[in-house]
Amino acid sequence: MNRNLLSQTLSGLLLIALGNSVQAGELPDKQAELKLAAPSPDAEYLKMRALSTIPQGAFGDKVRLGYQLFVNTQQLRGKYVGNELNCVNCHMDAGRKANASPLWAAYLAYPAYRKKNDKVNSYQERIQGCFTYSMNGKAPESGSEPLVALSAYSYWLAMSGLMDKYGVAGAVPELSDEELLKGGKREDFVLPEAIAKATSLDERAKLPGRGFPAIPKPEQAYSPARGEQVYRAHCQSCHGENGEGVAMAGVYSLPPLWGPNSFNWGAGMHRVNTAANFIYENMPLGKSIQLSHQDAWDVAAFVVSHERPQDPRLKEGKVADLAERYHKHQGYYGQSVAEGVVLGTQSYPINPAKQ
């Protein structure tokens, strides 16, 4: 983590303020809720090659750019990013950590069919979703450089891991931009023979470690009030008294959990269950898997019961209508937790310029 923080800080200092705020245009799909089982205790996670082995040349440059955008997404602030987060804040260890929704497992699970809108989502569309909601920004155009680079980085992680696991030597095969953007779950995805023989498409799409694995349901109904006690004891020292995170010289080293600079009401992390799963497995940083399941649920409820940037799908409609349409899950949008204030009615702006 220190290396990431350092590189974020250094590149952040070089950040150039990028013009005015951009309005969210056409909206990609909302963040899919993955249905995931508890991690198996003997699961063997894919091990990818060291980043220092990314080759020189045009293809390697794309992979490296993807890595840089992933750990310092603030380079895209004002253009595609409207909060103070970086992709790595949720997909930890530069998108490599198992059970923190790693990119290597994700890459091999797209294109994916979505029942909800009867549509097939490519890998680039999934990334566009995280820009729109988790980054409270505006999705980069299909086929644009950031999406190619982030796809190339994900592909390289996945393929290098598979190659090492199945004894295939040599450099990761290069793919065209168009191929990279689709994802690796397709019959025409070119694979070294040893890998194609040893694994099926479906097995590769369900690698152990994918997503944020589900923890058991809480014994008592989750409670933001109890969660506040957990927060003060285990989270506040890093994430701040009001979930605002910690910044020095305008660069955040500890990310905001709610308020104007965090993910918006359309992001997957605003669901209590998704946040509980993430928190149990990954927080408090460096001491994860120590909270009780109940504490993880309660603190997740506390975190996501605060106001944050608006759900970009709200146009002229009312919060109640949007809540009815998109928020029939474990979340607080359209509900009141304190003093009759309905969450979603005093939300912060979508994709604002940096203050």
Q: How far is the CB of 181 from ligand HEC (least distance, A)?
A: 12
C-beta closer to ligand HEC: residue 57 or 120? 120
Instruction: Specify whether the CB–CB gap between 230 and 246 falls below 8 A.
Output: no
Report d(CA 316, CA 236) in Å as an integer: 36
Q: How far is the CB of 355 from ligand HEC (least distance, A)?
A: 17
Q: How far is the CB of 340 from ligand HEC (least distance, A)?
A: 26
Please give, one letter per residue, the 3-state secondary structure of 125-172.
HHHHHHHHCCCCCCCCCCCCHHHHHHHHHHHHHHHHHHHHHCCCCCCC
Instruction: Specify whether the CB–CB gap between 94 and 71 falls below 8 A.
Output: yes
C-beta closer to ligand HEC: residue 115 or 315? 115
C-beta closer to ligand HEC: residue 21 or 320? 21
Q: How far is the CB of 314 from ligand HEC (least distance, A)?
A: 19
Q: How far is the CB of 177 from ligand HEC (least distance, A)?
A: 16
C-beta closer to ligand HEC: residue 73 or 310? 73
C-beta closer to ligand HEC: residue 87 or 322? 87
Other C-beta atoms closer than 10 Å to the C-beta of 50 total 8
Q: Which residues neighbour 120 within 8 Å (Cβ) at sequence distance 6 or greater?
A: 111, 112, 113, 114
Instruction: Specify whether the CB–CB gap between 150 and 183 falls below 8 A.
Output: no
DSSP letter for 120, please.
Answer: E
Q: How far is the CB of 188 from ligand HEC (least distance, A)?
A: 20
| Angle CA 217–219–225, to nearest 5 | 100
Q: Which residues neighbour 212 within 8 Å (Cβ) at sequence distance 6 or greater?
A: 34, 36, 99, 100, 101, 274, 277, 278, 281, 282
The binding site for ligand HEC (CB under 6 A) comprises: 1, 4, 31, 33-34, 73, 85, 87-92, 101, 103, 105-106, 109, 126-127, 130-131, 134-135, 150, 210-212, 234-235, 237-239, 254-257, 262-263, 267-269, 274-275, 278-279, 283-286, 291, 299, 303
C-beta closer to ligand HEC: residue 130 or 314? 130
Q: How far is the CB of 53 from ligand HEC (least distance, A)?
A: 22
C-beta closer to ligand HEC: residue 89 or 160? 89
- Adjacent-strand bridge partners of 89: none
246 alpha carbon, distance to own chain's centre:
20
